[in-house]
Amino acid sequence: MVLNNIENLLEKYENGETSLKEEQQLKDYFSQETVAPHLEMYKPMFNYFSVSQKEQFTKQLPLKTSKGFNFKRLSVAAVAVLMLSIYVFKPNNLGETTITDAEKVEINNAKEALAIMSKHFNQGTAQVGYLGVINEAGTQVDYLKEITNPMDRLFKR
Amino acid sequence: MNQSEFLNIVTPFKDKVFRLAKRLLVSREEAEDATQEVLIKLWKNKAKIKDYKNVEAFSMTMTKNFCFDKLKSKQAQNLKIVHSNYQDHSVSLQKEVELNDSLDWVGKIMETLPEQQKMVVQLRDIEQYDFKEIAIMLDMNETAIRVALSRARKTIREKLTNTHNYGVK
């Protein structure tokens, strides 16, 4: 009776028509020590299914929260800080230096000294202005050149 | 969602994910990596988990796709999947050596099945999902699943009958 039932179930099983419950019946039947000899080959099949079902995933899961330490983000931040610091500190080396009051006084003194010097220099040039008269006189004496012309003609060079 | 909440969702089916990955990738290490990958993907999208209708089915589909990608890239690189772990821990729990041998043999037969049949047998005969769930996971209709299942079962039975009759074990 039971065997007949199992055989029917096996046929349905092979056609993919059994329900989960019926498949469980088959598994139970084939988990016995002794089965009908002509159904012996089904035994390893169903036992394999039962045994495979017990295999477990044992590896640990590395679950990190996204807030965690992130090297990619850190490197981006580091580059940003680097660029910013270069931008901020470089102009200080080249740019306007701050001037203290003592330095201002020194600069003014130097300016005054230069002003005095240039004033005297200008006086000097003014005094030497009469030298210009010589140039004038030189041009007035140009007519003397005319004399050399007739001399050339006389001597027929 | 914090870690323990996530683990509560994932724990009931993480072994199933692993077993499906192992069925497809054969190697235990590869399957462990794949499972880890799938679960980490889920964790990263944990904000969306509530929107998924069926996280378990979704994860199984992800696993299937992930393993197919793995297999494809393996083929592209012309590499064989190494599986040195023929001696399965759970199988070796079985005390009878004879039975152990024939169980291994079933595993070997299943390896020769086409990918789709492997998955259907895995999900139905081992994980005991009903056809509706398998249909969602594999994106197949139920008739196609029944046909694939029937073919796979018959192949396994035939090959087992042969070894049984020849006494090759």
| Contact call for A13 and B156, based on CB within 8 A | no
Show which of B61, B85, B109 is a domain's final residue. B85
> How many CB atoms within 10 Å of residue A81?
10
Statement to judge: residues B79 and B103 lie in one domain? no
Task: Look up the CATH number of the domain holding residue B61.
Answer: 1.10.1740.10
Structural domains of chain B, count: 2
Which of A41, A57, A58 is the closest to B161 by Cβ? A41
Task: Output the tens digit of pLDDT for each of chain A's 157 residues.
Answer: 688 889 999 999 999 899 999 999 999 999 888 888 888 888 889 989 988 888 888 888 777 655 556 778 889 999 999 999 988 887 655 555 677 888 899 999 999 999 999 998 888 877 777 777 777 777 777 777 777 777 777 776 5
Show which of B44, B59, B85 is a domain's final residue. B85
Return the closest-CA partner of residue B137 out of B45, B42, B17.
Answer: B17
As a whole number of angstroms, the distance between CA B102 and CA B164 comes to 9
Statement to judge: residues B120 and B165 lie in one domain? yes
- What range defines the domain where residue B23 resides? 1-85
Contact residues, chain B, for A52 at CB < 8 Å: 19, 90-91, 107, 126
As a whole number of angstroms, the distance between CA B130 and CA B22 comes to 21
Statement to judge: residues B44 and B101 lie in one domain? no
Statement to judge: residues B167 and B102 lie in one domain? yes
Statement to judge: residues B98 and B70 lie in one domain? no
| Contact call for A54 and B35, based on CB within 8 A | no
Statement to judge: residues B71 and B111 lie in one domain? no
Nearest-CA residue of chain B relative to A49?
Answer: B126
Statement to judge: residues B70 and B115 lie in one domain? no
Query: pTM of this prediction?
Result: 0.64
Cβ atoms of B21 and B63 closer than 8 Å: yes
Which of A44, A65, A66 is the closest to B103 by Cβ? A44
- Model confidence pLDDT, tens digit, residues B101-132: 778 888 888 999 999 999 999 999 999 999 99
Task: Look up the CATH number of the domain holding residue B129.
Answer: 1.10.10.10
Statement to judge: residues B102 and B151 lie in one domain? yes
On the question of pLDDT at B167 being above 60, the answer is no
As a whole number of angstroms, the distance between CA B43 and CA A65 comes to 9
Q: Quickly tell me which residue has 């349905």 as its tokens.
A: A12
Output the six-digit token pair for A87.
């931008």
Statement to judge: residues B3 and B78 lie in one domain? yes
Chain pair A-B, CB pairs under 8 angstroms: 97
Statement to judge: residues B44 and B121 lie in one domain? no
Q: Quickly tell me which residue has 């192949």 as its tokens.
A: B155
Rg (CA), chain B: 17
Statement to judge: residues B103 and B141 lie in one domain? yes
Statement to judge: residues B7 and B26 lie in one domain? yes
Inform me whether the C-beta atom of residue B19 falls under 8 Å from chain A C-beta atoms: yes
Indicate left, alpha or beta for B83 from its phi (over 0: left) and psi (-120 to 50: alpha): beta
Cβ atoms of B138 and B119 closer than 8 Å: yes
Among B25, B97, B126, which would you mutate to test the A interface (most chain A Cβ atoms within 10 Å of its Cβ)? B126
Show which of B62, B85, B108 is a domain's final residue. B85
Strand (E) or helix (H) holding B9: helix B3-25
